Structure 1
């Protein structure tokens, strides 16, 4: 068979044709026609390619809401062999059938990564509120045992996202991102915002979206999970830094009913010497439901909000406040938004003007969701937020119901017109638009204070908007706690690194005695231990308050365990903040599924109850009751605490490295399970050999003490590196280079730690400091880890320490 080869610079325009074929150059790619559709292949870089398909005779013009990267000039070659056309960069090969339009992707060594199914593209005519368009679908063929991850956050407890069917419409506890990545080192982003079906079974794997003028997806080859995430962020946006204080502990509840109560919680934590950095005010500070989300303190129990915030600041804490995506009919925002036709007509929360439960439908609230797709509506939203809440000193935004709440759903609700077309067409991108509106407006006004947003929903690209997503109003149970782990890990694997859950679960429907239920107290402690190792540590919920003093006093098991882990969180701040810099600067992730760091160990691919926090600490949350004795059933159920027998949890330690028990220093071999006794205050934690871990001082809030005397723990057994990152803690000067890094490297053969020259400078930077270097040397004959310590003075110049 005769083969035609032509070298092409992808950024050149032009056209050519081969005998009996029809394909032309487009910028950075090629376009071809089959008998019934047009296929466009466009490189965004050597490892990333966009595939667009649409019916012949139609047009496809789309400006992505998620993708912000412009195509990078990319050199590629083409070759034709019969009816197959191959486009090849240095990192990726794309083959397309000139007859069927089927596309496949291969690595540089010609190993096939992914292929579309033959005749796998379909376009079904669809009337979208008067707009003649299509329901679009593309089916792919995965290897039989290929593990894939991502797709956002679901509550089903699955780590590997195979053999399932998802109806991808944003909800309270499910955040959908139509992106998955494979253990084979590639990722696929389906760039569509309408209600979408994802399905994987023995017949294939497909995305099918209700509305689309064409099929539009991006394939990226990153070689490993971190590489795929890096490519996804290059496409959809990089991650800004959060302030240091946001990595401290947050207390919240549904809801503090006065400003005195809110400030009093902070005062109580300070009196108890328990660390706290954030206090959060939930809804109804605005008054009744007709004033829903007025963004003003109209409730008489909040008479002087500026004084309230000042008192919180004087206690060295920060205030977040609840804001919503909807407005009551008596608010100023409602009037202004209605005047530009920027309010939707479907039922949302709250359903009644009365605050009593259940809702009295005879008095509907009249609350309506605003059109966040409309730039003028986003301006109105911000202007009231700025004037009503930012002006009194609020430090961050708790954006609730960003999916948004859609009650009593009717298909015709999706006919509501937005600034960008029907609500159906752009439904799933709502959180991206409303969160992005707040971030962009605040950045335009203020570079002295970093944006911090807590949001209930997310979509592809939201990592660029300074937002931390929480898992919604989950109901407290042991199953729910376990499901949070895989939910957070798969969410992170879509490229959005900041995630958390309501510590203790939001609703306590399963625990009629609330905090008097010993099983719930045990669950809360275990959830808080898990929360210690999430990007945000936040206690929140309805039905019962969750402040530490609600669980007893010092000397009580639950209280002491809670205090222990809040203090541990603060000890780890240098490690956590440096990890956050790795996320921003190097496209890393904070919560890391085990497959990210140990892809060669097949035992870890589907583990859903362990993960890495940063690249050093393996976290193994306890997700079952151990110390609650249950007798009877139904209304006669009796629960009692029973600590007479010490229980244990089994943890798999990935192969390819040794591990150290964080608590004892005991050295363990990887590739096997280990059992750890787990009294109520014990969470199994293991540190990877070769890790270098900075530990900070005991503090009451994140910035109380400078890091002038840090403990630097070395876990030997492999070479290791760590970069300690520092900056001014809460502004954007780091974007201009105002930060410093100190690199540590461990030579395991020479048993030598090198502290390299400090790089960079920022205002207030320490000129000199002490490092207490601790070598964790494994278990001695008693089974307890031993340590060797050397203290050095460091003035920014290279120093080496030999053990």
Structure 2
């Protein structure tokens, strides 16, 4: 029972920590009505016919005490109770009974749009929340009947307000009921009003304040997860991990699906049922020793490789007599072994025995966290109305917190509002189709409207819509690569598929160019992991998730609501995944709406003007990602290293176009102390002038266990001309062809200036200054132009045969990046030469005898 006393105590303490003092912001009682100002934008409204109000935290509002800035004034005006905050005015006709449109209203003229609400007013323009699962969903529609997937309501609405009706909900217990129970008053009203106008981020911050924060997953969870529904054996998993290592593909989480345990009774033809009336075989807790003769030794070996392991659970059948743990489980409950017990998550005694005798021993063996795949029946049998999914998520997550030592993480289905406190979400078995891929960016971003910021999808899709046709059972490499690219820029990057021998997604099983694209995609994930983790912390602090819709930052732009195929990935990166097949030339046409301002196109290396929709054509290995002009993005210096092997070297990627500010957040990575003050931040800033860049890395603030005392920083200035000088703390650095401490170099292929700083203590600032010569050429868009010519010439050589070969100037244009590398002192001259050759490509090809149709095809392969 200790676990559950702690769980209840944790919830109550979290609530008590923010309960209002007996001051002006205390609850206001008027007869049988009570009003509590929780923030300037949030008011709780209760009506209890017996005058007895509910103070215990509910499943949704676990921490709903008033925030420090929840100040208000209370007056009585001609029979009306009037409560005013900085933004809202509530009026209630005293003594008038239960809430109606005639006796209660909330208004504001300070918000945009203005608010004039009363009970019963229909909310229009709600921006949606999320759904329990994408099982058998094709695009945004159910495959069974073509009906739209309902994303429900989120906290945000274009109307500027939202009402959460918590009436009749379950609440966490007290000393007499240390668990969960229904409210004592069945006829009470309990509603929480959010009024925010278009200040969406403030509304999300308020929801985090009153409903609990969005936890930061362990750092390893931001790495790559490998998962496949397959009856893997011990030796196959060892081979699989060896291949990842051999091909230089980092991996942090290994998911072992349900075949880790015995599946006795599971049959598609003649299924058996258990005492719960559930199909047997899905639930299991006893290792399949034919596949895993010594599971402890395998789990130990996986840990030595730096991998975290999760196992699949389907809990609904409970613990049955064939399980190894059955005897101990029944003994812990003092139950008759001859009478198996139905599964019941709402029974604290049952769950205590379940963890102690069944799951904790598996954790001790080496299981890192659990995958709650399905809970079978919708509600608890003991407490009708209590969602099994919701409650199991809470119990599993809280148990891991109480065990201590490691940061809590579960991997589960969405259970409803309030489940944002238990990451990570499993979105289920989506249909393999371009439509499904096209829908997932919107689905993922929209879930941020309920703070559910960590969806994990079956990248590449789970199963085909029609499994009866063998022709549909093969993976389309292009679709899979595009899905993986979305996955690299999503909260969790995890591949998965159904048990089908043709659906193999290991990167090394694909053709060389496809393998290269898949490996590069995983490396991209690891390159940006420090930025991703920093933004995960920001989600915890502010309620604004890592992946968020465009209208958060641009609420008054109509285009932001229509651009649901793109999203902000953190504060500074706009991601617009390609979600449609390419043409015969290998290009996918794709449009992206860019908000007002300037953006850096990472595919073409160009600063472009926003406030418009830009059209692009993207090769299979290219992703439309735009950085805010002037952004500073902390990255991983060596992306081939997994989180467990990360040596801590960081590279600051500096984008042109304006001054910037950012930070790098760090903590121990896998404990709960980040919720207190065990973390560190490093402030970053840039100042640009016409021919100079000044980057300042501030001294680190804060501390955490195991924190290193020094680090080797690097700086990458993208879209750079050859500099005249580079200095760190006033000391000039030398140019070098290798990345040595205290040197710099410019790489021609991506025109990136790489500066490797001397190793430096965290307690002092470092300042990097770069100057460019007065005659430095404009290199805006040059990276894309050079790439296009390289690709077009490669195509021409494969399709046009001539004794004289490709014309000289065309060949040299294709090697402009190498000429820059070979002749850095001639940078300006080589850039000018390339641009002359680029402008004359068609003329040069014609003079070289290339036919008109071949020249047209050549031109079509130039991305610009």
TM-score range, shorter chain: 0.7 to 0.9
SS of residue paired to 1:382: helix
Q: Over residues 443-469 of structure 1, what are the superposed CA-to-partner deviations in whole Å (9 max), with x where a residue is unaligned? A: 22222x22221112232222333x210
**Residues 77-98 of structure 1: per-residue CA shift (max 9 Å, x gap):** 2345556542112343223355
Mapped pair 1:444 → 2:411: no
Whether 2:473 is the aligned partner of 1:509: answer: no
The one-character-per-residue Cα deviations of 1:587-632 (angstroms, maximum 9, x if unpaired) are 33111111112223221123210001111111111222225xxxxx
Give the structure 1 partner of residue 373 of structure 2. Answer: 400
CA contact (8 A) 2:139 2:433 kept: no
Quote how far apart the aligned CAs of 1:194 are: 7.4
Contact 1:115 1:141 in 2 (8 A): no
Partner-residue secondary structure (3-state), 1:233 = helix
CA distance in 1, matches of 2:106, 2:381: 38
1:792 aligns with 2:757: yes
**Where does residue 90 of structure 1 map in the other structure?**
86
Matched residue, 2:514: 558
User: C-alpha displacement at 1:280, in angstroms?
Assistant: 0.7
Deviation at 1:799, TM superposition (A): 2.8
CA drift at 1:339 = 10
Q: Which residue is 2:219 aligned to?
A: 244
- Contact between 1:666 and 1:784, CA under 8 Å: does it hold in 2? no
Q: 1:540 to 1:317 in 2, by over 3 A?
A: same
Q: Distance in 2 between matches of 1:522 and 1:552?
A: 14
Partner of 2:29: 30
Deviation for aligned residue 1:401 = 0.9
Equivalent residue for 1:801? 768
Alpha-carbon separation, structure 1, partners of 2:344 and 2:679? 39
8 Å CA contact 2:548, 2:569 repeated in 1: yes
Tell me, yes or no, if structure 1 residue 302 matches structure 2 residue 292. Answer: yes
Matched residue, 1:615:
571
Give, in angstroms, the shift of residue 218 of structure 1.
1.5
Distance 1:28 1:60 in 2: 11
Distance 2:293 2:505 in 1: 27
Moved more, 683-692 or 94-103: 94-103
Counterpart CA distance in 2 for 1:188 and 1:523 is: 40
Structure 2 distance, partners of 1:645, 1:217, is 54
**2:697 corresponds to which of 729, 747, 755:** 755
**Cα distance in structure 2, aligned partners of 1:536 and 1:765:** 25
- Could you list the per-position Cα deviations for residues 27-75 of structure 1 after superposition, in whole angstroms to 9, with x for gaps in the alignment? 512335xxxxx54322224432112246x46976574122222533854
Q: 1:140–1:751: structure 2 CA closer, same or farther, 3 Å change rule?
A: farther
1:128-176 deviation per Cα after TM superposition (whole angstroms, max 9, x unaligned): xxxxxxxxxxx33446xx45342556769999xxxx9x9xxxxxx9797
- Alpha-carbon distance in 2 for matches of 1:342, 1:690: 66
Which residue number corresponds to residue 796 of structure 2?
Answer: none
CA–CA distance in structure 1, aligned partners of residues 340 and 598 of structure 2: 57
Q: Which residue of 2 aligns with 1:470?
A: 426
Q: Is the 8 A contact 2:630 2:654 kept in 1?
A: yes
Give 1:68's aligned residue: 62
| Cα RMSD, aligned residues only | 3.9
1:227 aligned onto 2:202? yes
Shift of the 224–296 alpha-carbon distance from structure 1 to 2, 3 Å rule, reads: farther
Equivalent residues, number: 672
SS at match of 1:284: helix
Mapped partners of 2:549, 2:710: distance in 1: 37
Higher strand share: 1
Deviation at 1:691, TM superposition (A): 1.4
Q: 1:110 to 1:389 in 2, by over 3 A?
A: closer
Are 2:260 and 1:285 equivalent residues in the alignment? yes
192 and 540 in structure 1: CA distance in 2 versus 1, 3 angstrom threshold = farther
Distance 2:250 2:364 in 1: 27
CA contact (8 A) 1:48 1:220 kept: yes
Contact persistence 1:285–1:302 (CA under 8 A): yes
- Give 1:769-780 correspondences, 5 Å limit: 769-777=711-719
**Is the Cα contact below 8 Å between 2:431 and 2:463 reproduced in 1?**
yes
Residue 777 of structure 1: how far off its partner (Å) = 4.6
Of the three residues 596, 609, 633, the one matched with 1:693 is: 633
Distance in structure 1 (CA, Å) of the matches to 2:139 and 2:155: 14
Relative distance call for 1:110 and 1:239 in structure 2 (3 A) is: closer
Q: Which residue of 43, 47, 51 maps to 1:49?
A: 43
Q: Shift of residue 585 of structure 1? A: 3.3
Distance apart, 1:309 and its partner CA? 0.6
Alignment correspondent of 1:106: 107
Please show how residues 366-377 of structure 1 align to structure 2 within 5 Å.
370-377=343-350
Residue aligned with 2:541, SS: helix
Residue deviations 1:205-250 (CA, integer Å, cap 9, x gap) = xxxxxx9634322123456222222211111212333222111111
Q: Which secondary structure state, in structure 1, belongs to the residue aligned with residue 260 of structure 2?
A: coil
Q: How far did residue 476 of structure 1 move? A: 1.4
Q: Name the counterpart of 2:127.
A: 148
After superposition, give the CA deviation of every residue in 1:269-298 in whole Å (9 maximum; x if it has no partner).
112222211111111322114465332314
Aligned mates of 1:565, 1:368 — CA distance in 2: 48
Which digits, 9 at most, give the CA deviation of each residue in 1:457-511, with x for residues without a partner? 232222333x210211111111112222222112121112211211111122347
Kept after mapping to 2: 8 A contact 1:189/1:218 = yes
CA distance 1:787–1:556, shift in 2 (3 Å): closer
CA deviations over 1:311-358 (Å, ceiling 9, x no partner): 212222221111223125436688999999999xxxxxxxxxxxxxxx
Give the structure-2-normalised TM-score.
0.70
Q: In structure 1, how many angstroms separate the alpha carbons of the residues matched to 2:111 and 2:369?
A: 49
Task: Quote the Cα distance in structure 1 between the aligned partners of 2:234 and 2:570.
Answer: 37
Partner in structure 1 of residue 363 of structure 2:
390
Counterpart of 1:22 in structure 2 is: none
Instruction: Check whether the contact 2:139–2:435 (CA below 8 A) recurs between aligned residues.
Output: no
Quick one: distance in 1 between partners of 2:642 and 2:159? 43
**Structure 1 residues 396-795: aligned runs within 5 Å:** 396-402=369-375, 404-406=376-378, 417-418=381-382, 421=383, 423-424=384-385, 426-427=386-387, 430-447=388-405, 449-465=406-422, 467-510=423-466, 520-544=476-500, 548-549=505-506, 552-553=509-510, 556-626=512-582, 643-644=584-585, 646-655=587-596, 657-696=597-636, 697-708=638-649, 710-735=650-675, 737-748=677-688, 751-777=693-719, 786-793=751-758, 794-795=760-761
Instruction: With a CA cutoff of 8 Å and minimum separation of 6, indicate the structure with the bigger relative contact order.
Output: 1
More helix by share: 2
| Distance of aligned partners of 1:261 and 1:157 in 2 relative to their CA distance in 1, 3 Å threshold | closer
* Residue of 280, 299, 307 corresponding to 1:317: 307
Is residue 271 from structure 1 mapped to residue 246 from structure 2 by the alignment? Answer: yes
1:663/1:339 Cα in 2 relative to 1: closer, same or farther (>3 Å)?
A: same
Q: Is 1:488–1:591's contact at 8 Å kept on the other side of the alignment?
A: yes
Q: Structure 2 vs 1, CA of residues 65 and 644 (structure 1 numbering), >3 Å: closer, same or farther?
A: closer
Distance in 2 (alpha carbons) for counterparts of 1:663 and 1:158: 27
- Distance change (3 Å), C-alpha of 1:508 and 1:158: closer
1:400 is displaced (CA, Å) by: 0.9
Aligned to 1:264, what secondary structure does the other structure show?
helix
Partner of 1:20: none
SS of alignment partner, residue 301 of structure 1:
coil
1:665–1:784 contact (8 Å) kept in structure 2: no
CA contact (8 A) 1:157 1:608 kept: no
Q: Give the gaps of 5 or more residues in structure 1.
A: 1-8, 14-24, 33-37, 121-138, 167-172, 196-210, 344-365, 407-413, 628-642
Per the alignment, residue 330 of structure 1 pairs with 321
CA contact (8 A) 1:292 1:367 kept: no
1:131 equivalent in structure 2: none
Paired with 1:593 and 1:342, the residues of 2 have a C-alpha distance of 52
